[in-house]
Structure 1
């Protein structure tokens, strides 16, 4: 039992020391002072009048010479259409795409994203959501097409805004954990996902690979499945500069958060086999680590002391890595709570996985 516990610790340390620590120590590049090529920003909105009213202006006031903002109004009925019509008159670089109810297409965010891409004027596409706000007016300077034309995908970072309560702390810690993984593995040369609140890629890459055709039947995955299928160590870069972050509104109810994570769980099933293996091992060995630790508590007093020492060693090692990484990813206030949140997140992900497997299958994007 103790040997199994120690082995699980070694597996944990691989992710902490060779993935997350690499991200914590990565150099943060300065944001370019000038724009290189024009950019199209894609935003999909379905009944987002409140968020558009609050955040669209931050997209329209970016410090970038030539760019457009393409907002796709996906069958909204809350006043979004009227608001966008008014904004369209005020901003020459705003382009509004309307999707009407029609039985001839499959409703969903991927269709809305595809319509936005088709309407985009420029080849470099930057993606965000209606409930998102760039940290600064230099966001597009950071997410613009790199000077190296071989780079076809740029993965940015999008933290959630701080609110009161356990749910908010758990959401932000889960976002931190997800970002530590996908950004850390991208640095290691194995990019496997991106977050649609802040990412970019070439329009040519989208059409060359027939868009979302391979996974159009999955409600989610317009971001992570596309990156998973087409990102490589040669064509992908990440962005860490705080001025290039995009802040997002978190879910405020447990049911809303569970629904969101259920969509993400469904997309993960279609990841490449090597990515599913690496991510599954991370969760499985974390599960086994806590399981073996509890099992050791029923052994001799000496075994209990050894098990406690292994657990303490695990916490100490992570305490040397995660506070710095939490601060880098704008969650510095969580650094004193991460051991507790780590256990709570593990329990939540286990519950979410169970509900996703046995709950109802149909999940809408909005």
Structure 2
């Protein structure tokens, strides 16, 4: 039985190395990206529901972008706080702000996709950039950096949405490592010609891409997924590119309690159930191989069975993964996380198992 376990462990290590070197290495070892400014007219779209404090702080940062031709489309999704009032003040203050007021519709009650659809239709520019109400660009050249990646063929741009650092917070390291690993995955698969997701905190596409797939209609019944499900449906090897210069990043406030983080990840995992079969397979295989790698290594080492070989394979996988994660973290300016890689990875793996099990017995809560 231990011999069979060893063979299985070797197979799992090969799978992990294939992911880290064969797929994730495409982003980790990619050349530094350059910004070639363009003058493409841009509509920045922000959808908010009960985000009064965040929009008051972050919309001025968007409005002060150093870009020659852009508008900001602010969508108030039937907020019950002062979000709409803040938006109305900004509309008076900035001539390039367009306000879209959404009233609840019985057919699309509380559905962010309905609100976003109205905002996209209201946008006057052909190229759209998206960010969330609790996000802000890390640079005044965010629009320049993101729009510079558009070409005649590349009409979808996937960006990176960072989370703020919180000193002496282990939870913050978990959140930021999970965000880094997710970015490594969707950036790498995009470079491999199999884009499968993007994040609404930072992405862009030409308006025609939205209408080519009839917007969100195929997954309108799913409350989440205005970002990843849309990309999963609309993106392909020819029309997608990525943006990873530091000027292209956005920054968000992270969750500060494990319960909030857990709830957020439950929504993300539930949404992934609607991905294309290949995308679900590659994601499932990666996470299963992560778990089995740890469990089988622990089992074989506990029995000291071929322990030199097992330890060698264990170290090889960790060194390769650490190098790939390290190079990727350097590109995305998350260098401090790489030093916590082995510990945070283990915590995150078992957190994900808990999420999968919890989602089987109850449905996660979505848009506010």
Given the two structures, how large is their TM-score scaled by the length of structure 2? Answer: 0.95
Q: Compare 109-118 and 314-323 and name the one that shifted more.
A: 314-323
* Deviation sequence 1:25-73 (CA, Å, 0-9, x none): 212322223x322111110101111111111111101111111101111
CA contact (8 A) 2:267 2:364 kept: no
Cα deviation for residue 185 of structure 1 reads: 0.8
Task: Indicate the RMSD between aligned Cα atoms, in angstroms.
Answer: 1.5
1:113 match: 116
* Deviation sequence 1:80-117 (CA, Å, 0-9, x none): 11111111101010111111234353322111111110
Task: State the 4+ residue runs in structure 1 displaced beyond 4 angstroms.
Answer: none
2:43 match: 40
**Structure 1 residue 364 and structure 2 residue 360: aligned?**
no
Return the alpha-carbon distance in structure 2 between the equivalents of residues 78 and 207 of structure 1: 32
Residues 75-90 of structure 1: matches in 2 within 5 Å? 75-90=78-93
**Structure 1 residue 278 and structure 2 residue 278: aligned?**
no
Cα deviation for residue 311 of structure 1 reads: 1.4
Residues 115-130 of structure 1: matches in 2 within 5 Å? 115-130=118-133
Cα deviation for residue 24 of structure 1 reads: 1.4
1:263 match: 267
CA contact (8 A) 1:219 1:263 kept: no
Return the alpha-carbon distance in structure 1 between the equivalents of residues 32 and 209 of structure 2: 26
Provide the aligned length of Structure 1 versus Structure 2: 363
CA contact (8 A) 1:159 1:330 kept: no
**Structure 1 residue 337 and structure 2 residue 340: aligned?**
yes
* Deviation sequence 1:173-212 (CA, Å, 0-9, x none): 0001100000011111111111111101111111121111
SS of residue paired to 2:211? helix
Residues 150-299 of structure 1: matches in 2 within 5 Å? 150-164=153-167, 165-299=169-303
Return the alpha-carbon distance in structure 1 between the equivalents of residues 101 and 65 of structure 2: 24
- In structure 1, runs of 5+ residues without a counterpart are none
CA contact (8 A) 2:42 2:71 kept: yes
2:7 match: 3
SS of residue paired to 1:83? helix
Cα deviation for residue 362 of structure 1 reads: 5.4
SS of residue paired to 1:82? helix
Cα deviation for residue 239 of structure 1 reads: 0.6
1:131 match: 134
Return the alpha-carbon distance in structure 2 between the equivalents of residues 159 and 307 of structure 1: 36
Return the alpha-carbon distance in structure 2 between the equivalents of residues 169 and 323 of structure 1: 15
Given the two structures, how large is their TM-score scaled by the length of structure 1? Answer: 0.95
1:72 match: 75
SS of residue paired to 1:47? coil
Cα deviation for residue 321 of structure 1 reads: 2.3
SS of residue paired to 2:72? strand
**Structure 1 residue 348 and structure 2 residue 360: aligned?**
no
- 1:315 pairs, out of 282, 305, 318, with 318
Return the alpha-carbon distance in structure 2 between the equivalents of residues 208 and 313 of structure 1: 45
Q: Compare 93-102 and 62-71 and name the one that shifted more.
A: 93-102
Return the alpha-carbon distance in structure 2 between the equivalents of residues 186 and 319 of structure 1: 21
Cα deviation for residue 309 of structure 1 reads: 2.5
